[in-house]
Structure 1
Amino acid sequence: MLLDTPICDFGWQAPDFTLKDPDGKPFTLSEQLGEKGLLVAFICNHCPYVQRIAERLAADTQLLMEEGINVLAIMSNDYRSYPADAPDKMRAFARQQGFSFPYLVDEDQSVGKAFGAVCTPDFFGFNRSGELQYRGRLDDARMGEASERVPELLNAMRLIAATGQGPKEQIASMGCSIKWSI
């Protein structure tokens, strides 16, 4: 089911969390919140929307990390019901796509629920104070060719890093619903 994300709730404070990657290494939001901000992306392996943007996501996040902006990705789907999203598959997907950011398992789905994550992909851009400043798309898909795309997320995170504030105009992300456990 195709869903759109809500409009950015400017200033919302992300709750701290600790999640592990598929190899068991823990990552804590407060430790990842850097001087230039943090991007948190809710993604999964099997979503066609994520698969469609994975290469651009890898490239754009690599640029952001080189500029000192931290990035975390979280998989909140119920992977017992959707085995394509299981931790061992996450590891393979991240390697295949060239992700250089931590890709974390939200085992009990508590982080996805606390963030109000709706779909995959769902992007949350925070300033260095942990205040939400962006909730929108990776890019403006209406532009057609990848060479002509407007890099919404990249531009937003660069603005947040420079000023602490995100763009006032944002285009909601859209994708597959997060698969909540029953």
Structure 2
Amino acid sequence: MAALQPPVCDFDWQAPHFSLPGTDGNTYSLTDLAGEKSTLVMFICNHCPFVLAILDKIIRDAHDMKAHGIGVVAICSNDHVSHPADSFENMQLLAEKHEFPFPYLHDADQIVARNYDAVCTPDFFGFNKDLGLQYRGRLDATRMGTSPSDLRRDLFEAMKQIAETGQGPDHQVPSIGCSIKWK
């Protein structure tokens, strides 16, 4: 498994709109999910060891972001034929098991991932209230097999800054993860 990194943040790039089915039975658009002050769109999946290593932190940060007017959504775009763990049914099970505090959406045709130029799981896109990109970095410095509890919360701090100022941090460390599993 080769780890991939997304490119650095293209500041003010506009978030492409979407409408996707959620694991809760509802369909959501970007407009439905946009936060009052900023919005986090993340590409994750069920099977990726990089995602699984930080899943509890993703959930913690999503809970904490809500208090700052930040909307949060997760999207799975992986090909479920080649990776059955990422099927819609398994997405529903994962979201229920971990009580996701955000909608978990299925991008079955992979158009949303292509429109966002998503590269890996996890891939985080932090937008300001005008849906201009301000952050495309990592959650924190966690690497496979290591997860100290005292790491700086890069994603949370960046999203909080975006909510407060409309601008993301100048210095951003890319996320790292498994490639999107394209059809």
Name the TM-score class by shorter chain.
Answer: over 0.9
Tell me which residue corresponds to 2:156: 154
Match of 1:3, SS state, is coil
Structure 2 residue aligned with 1:163, among 156, 161, 165?
165
Gapped runs of 5+ residues in structure 2? none
Aligned to 1:3: 4
Q: Amino acid of the residue matched to residue 160 of structure 2?
A: R
Cα distance in 2 between the residues matched to 1:30 and 1:126: 12
Within-5 A mapping of 1:12-51: 12-51=13-52
CA distance in 1, matches of 2:100, 2:54: 12
Q: TM-score, normalised by structure 2?
A: 0.94
Instruction: Tell me by how many angstroms 1:176 deviates.
Output: 0.2
Displacement of 1:145: 5.0
Q: How many residues align?
A: 180
Unaligned runs of 5+ in 1: none
Bigger Cα displacement from structure 2, 22-31 vs 105-114: 22-31
**Deviation string, structure 1 residues 106-127 (Cα, Å, up to 9, x no partner):** 0100000000000000000000
Q: In structure 1, what is the equivalent of residue 59 of structure 2?
A: 58
Tell whether the 8 Å contact from 1:39 to 1:157 is kept in structure 2 after alignment: yes
Does the 8 Å CA contact 2:15/2:133 hold for their aligned counterparts? yes
Tell me the distance in 2 between the aligned counterparts of 1:88 and 1:60. Answer: 25
* Identical-residue share of aligned pairs (%): 51
Question: What does residue 174 of structure 1 align with?
Answer: 176
82 and 127 in structure 1: CA distance in 2 versus 1, 3 angstrom threshold = same
Alignment of 1:110-129 (within 5 A): 110-129=111-130
Could you tell me how far 1:92 is from its partner in structure 2? 1.1
SS at match of 1:84: helix
1:2 partner SS:
coil
Amino acid at match of 2:142: A
Q: Offset at 1:96?
A: 2.2
Which residue in the other structure is 1:139 paired with? 140
Which structure shows the bigger proportion of residues in helix conformation?
A: 1
Q: Secondary structure at the match of 1:146?
A: coil
Post-superposition Cα deviations, 1:35-93, rounded to whole Å, max 9, x if no partner, equal: 21100010000000000000011011111013221100000001122110011111111
- SS of the aligned residue for 1:141 comes to coil
Are the counterparts in 2 of residues 55 and 98 from structure 1 also a CA contact under 8 Å? no
Q: TM-score, normalised by structure 1?
A: 0.95
RMSD: 1.3
4+ residue stretches of structure 1 with deviation over 3 A? Answer: none
